[in-house]
Chain A
Amino acid sequence: MVTAVSIENLSWRYETGREWALKDVTLNVEEGEFLGVVGPSGAGKTTLSLCPSTSSTGREWALKDVTLNVEEGEFLGVVGPSGAGKTTLSLCLAGLIPHMTRGVMCGSVKIYSMDTSKTRLKDIVRRVGVVFQDPETQFVTMSVEDEVAFPMENYAFPREIMASRVEEALKATRMQDYAARYPYELSGGQKQRVAIASFLALRPDILVLDEPTSDLDPAGKSEVFSIIDRLRTEYNTTLIVIEHNTEELAKYADRVVLLDRGRIVKEEICKFFFDDVPFLQEHGVYPPQVTELCYRLENGRESSLPLTVEQATAYLKNRFSLKDSPQNVRWSPRRHVRKEGDVILRVENLRFTYPDGTEALKGIDFEIRRGEYVAVIGQNASGKTTLVKHLVGLLKPTHGNVYVFGLNTKNVSITSLATKIGYVYQNPDHQLFCQTVYEECAYGLRNLGFSESEVKTKVRNVLEDLGMAGLEDTETFILGKGERQRLAVATVLVMAPEVIIIDEPTTGQDMKQSESIMNLLDQFNMEGKTVIIITHNMRLVAEHADRAMVMADGKILLDGGVREIFSNIDLMKRTFLTPPQITLLANSLSPELKGVLTVDELEKLFKVK
């Protein structure tokens, strides 16, 4: 007989587990042997299983042969590119598929052995809470307090219990001062916290969060993760979090699954999940920057790579040393810097008050030169969008002046500014209103009086540049989100503006889509044009922009080079921003290194000990 499997004194405990999953197991299995394994439920009770669950949208399977078990109290992360089926998975978990969505479903989803297809939706959602991506459409009542109480009211909780749980949930999400606010008085981040609070009060056994932080500033993202982690600690809630932000996910998740094209292509405990960096990147997932750095330095030879700044600091100090003393490190200038260009945008003592009395901008002064690449950053509701709306002429200053190419925006029409300065919205749905791709691109040109032959040439050129040639006759509303975002950029670029302003260019997009858009902007900037981005994604700012303006409470607190801005970690904290993970790591290794902006830069400084 040949021993096929031999296990000796095997003990296994999940990294975040409290008890041993296996303890001192010794077992030999002979070749060809049929070994049965029986016993009671394990250390953790299985709360939820998908086996195999599939749902069809009509053309192709949104999920295909997904088999997944989640333990009670577990924190499961779900990552994957756009269109991978992550949201479909969340709808299956909450019972909204098959109860609310038409399609074909094979297999089953069980919540505490309750088959979702055979159970009333109301009974499922009592045990499974789901927080969706768009905070706007989740707010279904008229006040914060009502919203938190709404699920409990639906389950006829006694008033006294509701009152105490509402108070408790609002405190936990730091929204207690906003109890009487209306939905339109809250920022996106605040609305998302209210959505979480409403389930916090209901205390479901399982909470599913579908990209809960995509609209939030960096501090808001961390806050949401720490709140939901407290849920697990205090109420043993099982958490399933779908997220593009792997850096926060890696801090808290026990296990992560990677979905792509409706299938689970990788499933691993968090500690090992991010080890295969190229595999993740191939599937459109950004691994944490510190993991990527360690992977590169180790040439992919090691496993269990660091996931957090603290782990990476210890790891690097043990295994690597700097090639040179930190004091001697000199940063090469960013590739785009152009200080010699003409001043094309000038803002003088800009103040703006909305008709309802909200003072959104409180005295802003700056100049932007031709060819600069500027990032406007700041916490939610700091006034970023209001500021750029002044640059394109959509808003006129209450006090002060805005000059675009020497013209005071108070005295010129928006249309005349449109040929000089283009604005791309965060949500392409707000910007696409024609039937076909060609018509969409041609629309602005026709309004500007170009002849049909000129329109044809310009549209063809811009679509070729953006890799969209051949899609001219495609209807805009059947394009995927990534393509729609690119089309939105195309509709602006086709008008050949000197300046492009783009609001949150990569929100809700996977790594490949994000890089595609950022490459476009880089190319535009390399041609000597000016780019202004508004973003919460500090990694984008570090990798692409030359200059950043930090806004808070309607003012610019700091305006300077990106390196200088991210080096000012105290200011970043004060404005609820967080530098990229790689900058934090560099600062943790040595304060002299806090100017590091990218993984490439830090990688070059190290050598093996």
Chain B
Amino acid sequence: MPSVSIFLISHVRELALGAKRLLQQGNDQVTIIATGGLEDGEIGTSVDQMQRALDELPQEDEVLIFYDIGSAKMNAEMLIEMNPDRTIAITDAPLIEGGYVAVMMAGFGDDLDTVRQKAESSYHKSR
């Protein structure tokens, strides 16, 4: 069982869910959760919504967060502070390309640091 779960955060709900659908192709055993947009469907990110999604994951899961644009990262940082008992990391690797690599690596059973590093290095290599 992979120990790393992937958390996708976007400003738009459809984008988050679409990204999840695509990334799940990389490995259907890896847990991917995705939130996007505000409660009313407007563009933005909501830390409440992120918390609810996180609560569905087992406490022992390590979580790697991918985000789309800047303010989502700020909310992700707040989420980490609100959950000091969980192991959560944020990566600046792109949501789709980096996320895909992360899902593959998590599927191979890599740990959080390794998954994150591979997601980030694959992104830099391709540029």
Specify whether A and B are partners. Answer: no
Residues of A within 8 A of B (CB): none
Residues of B within 8 A of A (CB): none
